[in-house]
Every structure is written in C-alpha cells, then in structure tokens.
C-alpha cells in the first residue's frame, strides 16, 4: 500500500506541474505498472505567497504555507512536500506545526552532495533564497560550503526566474547567461535552488555537476511513498 503524497504547489505552477509529472514517470520507471501513489496538490496563490516572502512577513508567510498544508492534511495525505525551495526558509517552523511528516528539499539535496563528495557548491535561486541562510546552514552540518553569485548576478537570475521561467518562457539567451554565471565560480557543483531552474538548465548543458533539487525531491517523495 503506497502512501498518499501531498504537494504544496503553485509556487510556481510551472514547477508544480513538473513535480507531478516526474513522480508519475519516476514511479513507472521503477515499477512498470500504473499503481502510482495517490497524489493531492494544493496550489497556493503565487502572488500572495511572493508578496509575503518579499515583505519579510514571517508570521504571515508561515500562516499562508500552513493554510495549504492544513488543506492537504484534510484531504488525507500521509506526508507533504513543498514544491519550491524558498518556503524551506521556514521549514522547521512549518514542520513543527504539521500533523503529517514533511520531506525537506534542502536536506535531500545536501545529502546527495555529501554522497557525491561535493565540498563547495554555488547556490542559484530566487534572490530570497540566495540571500537566506537555510541552504548554508544545512550544508554546513555536513561539511559542505555554499556560496552565492554577486548581487548583480542575483538580480539577473531573479529576473529570469520570475519574468520568464514561472511563465513557461525558456530563452536560449537566458540559458547561456545562467551558464556564464556558473562558469565564473570555482566550485564542485551547483545547487539549482529554484524548482524552475531545472526546466531550463540540464546536465547535458554543462560539465559542472548540477544538483537538480526538483528531481532529488520527487525521487525522495517516491522513496517515502513506496517504503513499507
């Protein structure tokens, strides 16, 4: 009997769609049948979520996230994944209030980096994520250093994500610019710390190790859903 997956999504819709698709495809690749886990998606209001994030309204931000988690709990999910990196800035607060287990995208990414022997990582994401410390804090516990691009580069990355990727717009010029930014840093690997970034950056685009947080998170969700 598989566990029912709860996805807190809409942050953004583009990556939420990819979460669901990868869970289903990943299940089929493992089991080659159609008994994939029941999945419930609650899509938050992306603008309201982003406004709270940018305003630094931590209580309001947590309350907004919890409203979605409560809806998922009411739908009978067995555990929850948040289909974005940035809300993991308050993961500990949310996990403490949740009535079901939660799987952290940050933890599974850090553990993958450790398993691959990566010691220094470049973090890409929205500006909120790059200027927060939750990736640095978790990775430091595992002996991994995390650095971020310069502030002007952060502004560029943030613009590409919000103005293009969250709207399903994928430009070759933007991909090239992201790769150029990556190429300026001497690191062991890159955290694609926004779940829209794997929609434009693929491992075949670069020799640098890319940690696809969306893929790592969906595979961890499948592991948990299928575990006895």
Mean pLDDT by 10 residues, the chain (228 residues): 96 97 97 96 97 97 98 98 98 98 98 98 98 98 98 98 98 98 98 98 97 98 97
Shared domain for 142 and 63, answered yes or no, is no
Residue 65's pLDDT is 98
CA atoms in the 13 A half-sphere facing the CB of 133: 3
> 22 is in which domain, residue-wise?
5-104+216-226
Domain count for the chain: 2
Q: Count of CB atoms within 10 A of residue 112's CB?
A: 19
E strand or H helix that includes residue 63: helix 58-74
Residue 62's pLDDT is 98
For the entire predicted model, the pTM comes to 0.96
CA distance 146 to 63: 29
Residue 1's pLDDT is 85
The sign of the dihedral angle between the CA atoms of 96, 98, 100, 104 is negative
Q: Which residue has the tokens 């933007």?
A: 174
Shared domain for 64 and 146, answered yes or no, is no
Residue 172's pLDDT is 98
């Amino acid at each position: 009997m598989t566990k029912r997956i709860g996805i807190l999504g809409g942050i953004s819709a583009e990556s939420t769609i990819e979460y669901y698709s990868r869970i289903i495809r990943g299940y089929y690749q493992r089991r080659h049948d159609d008994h994939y886990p029941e999945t419930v998606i609650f899509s938050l209001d992306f603008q309201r979520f982003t406004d709270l994030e940018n305003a630094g309204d931590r209580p309001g931000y947590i309350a907004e996230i919890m409203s979605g988690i409560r809806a998922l709990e009411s739908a009978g999910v067995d555990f929850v994944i948040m289909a974005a990196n940035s809300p993991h800035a308050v993961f500990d607060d949310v996990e403490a209030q949740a009535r079901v287990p939660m799987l952290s995208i940050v933890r599974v990414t850090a553990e993958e980096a450790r398993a691959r022997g990566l010691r220094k990582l470049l973090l890409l994401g929205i500006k909120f994520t790059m200027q927060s410390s939750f990736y640095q804090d978790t990775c430091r516990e595992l002996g991994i250093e995390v650095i971020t691009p310069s502030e002007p580069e952060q502004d560029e990355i943030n613009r590409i994500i919000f103005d293009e990727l969250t709207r399903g717009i994928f430009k070759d010029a933007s991909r090239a610019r992201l790769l150029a930014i990556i190429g300026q840093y001497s690191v062991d690997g890159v955290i694609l710390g926004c779940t829209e970034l794997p929609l434009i950056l693929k491992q075949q685009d670069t020799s640098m190790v890319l940690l696809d947080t969306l893929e790592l998170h969906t595979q961890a969700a499948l592991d948990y859903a299928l575990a006895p």
